[in-house]
Every structure is written in structure tokens, then in C-alpha cells.
Structure 1
């Protein structure tokens, strides 16, 4: 190989590495932003749960529900679940997810 071919090869390799690093940074930034948005939404949802008396009162029933894998459903939990299923960001959550959210929010 002559010097021109070696220089061209080195240039090509450096360009490829630069593109890969740039692509990696863009992808990483997108993932970090998505995780941050999800974390903020979850934090907002659990904060708003804590503000409702009906949800705070359902804590013990929620613990029984989670511990029994859904077999024990207390009246306070049923009331809280009905309320939460009407809330906009929580409409499609399962009863199990909501019971766990009650436990986290009321700690």
C-alpha cells in the first residue's frame, strides 16, 4: 500500500468513528429524555394520589390486595379504585398497578 491509500483509509475510519459516536450520543440523549419524562409523569401521578383522602384511607386494603395477589379486595380499596379509574392519566391502569401506586404514594 502506498501512503495515499493509508491516508485515505485512516480518513475513512476516523469519519466512521465520528459518525458512530455522534449517533450514540443522539440515541443516548433521546433515551435519557424519555426516561426523565416518564419519571416526572410518575412522580406527578403519585403526588396527586397522596392529595386525595379516599386514596390515603385505602392504604391497608391496597396492602392486603397486593399481598394476596388480588384475592382480598376491601371496600376502601374498591372505592379508591373506582375513583382512580376516572382520573385521566390513570384510566387504563390495572387494579394491581393502582394498588401498588397507592402503597407508594401513601408511604
Structure 2
């Protein structure tokens, strides 16, 4: 009987632990999806707002290099475009990598 009780207790503990991990996964995934959606909305707005902007368009090659180098190579045109975008959209919550990717979609 003692062995059966231990098995039942172990199974209950594993079940509780699995439920906690699943709940944690759901919360983490939900937060990630919301953050991605907000960033995606912001970068879509960016793409539409700057599609005819000369400073931003001139930064496309630098943006491609920046993205390909995972942020290691920063060209002068990209720096100018990032400063320009941030001055025009001060509430935009996007990092340099996200902005560079958005420039590539323009």
C-alpha cells in the first residue's frame, strides 16, 4: 500500500508541475505575441510613413548590412535614418534592429 501511495503522490506532483509549466508557457507566449504585434504595427506605420523619404530610402543598403551583420556594422546613412525616424516619431518603441528591418521593407 505504501508503494501505491507514493506512486499516486508522485503522479500528482508531476501533474501539478506540468500544469505550472504549461501555464507559464501560455503566459510567455501570449506576452511575446502581443509584443511582436505591437512592434509589427509600429514598423508597418514606419514603412508607410517613410516610403517617399529620401533619407530613409538612402539607408537601405546600410540597413541590409546592419541586419546581415546582426548589428555589428553601422553605416552613416543608417545612423542618419535612425536619427531622422526617431525625431519624426518620438513615441515609436522599436530598437535599431527592428527599424533597420522596417527600412528594408520600404
Structure 2-normalised TM-score?
0.69
Q: Please list every run of 5 or more consecutive structure 1 residues that lacks an aligned counterpart in the other structure.
A: none
Taking CA–CA contacts closer than 8 Å with sequence separation of 6 or more, which of the two structures ends up with the larger relative contact order? 2
The list of structure 1 runs, each at least 4 consecutive aligned residues, that deviate by more than 4 angstroms after superposition, is: none
Structure 1-normalised TM-score?
0.68
Q: C-alpha root-mean-square deviation of aligned residues, in Å?
A: 2.8
The 1:41–1:89 alpha-carbon spacing in structure 2 relative to 1, beyond 3 Å, is same
Question: CA-to-partner distance for each residue in 1:48-102, whole Å, 9 max, x for gaps?
Answer: 012213665423423235437223427xx72x43342132133x734x6533331
The alignment partner of 1:51 has SS state of helix
In the other structure, the counterpart of 1:13 is 10
Q: Which is greater in Rg? A: 1
The alignment partner of 2:74 has SS state of coil
Q: Please list every run of 5 or more consecutive structure 2 residues that lacks an aligned counterpart in the other structure.
A: 67-72
In the other structure, the counterpart of 1:89 is 92
8 Å contact 1:49–1:55 — kept in the other structure? no
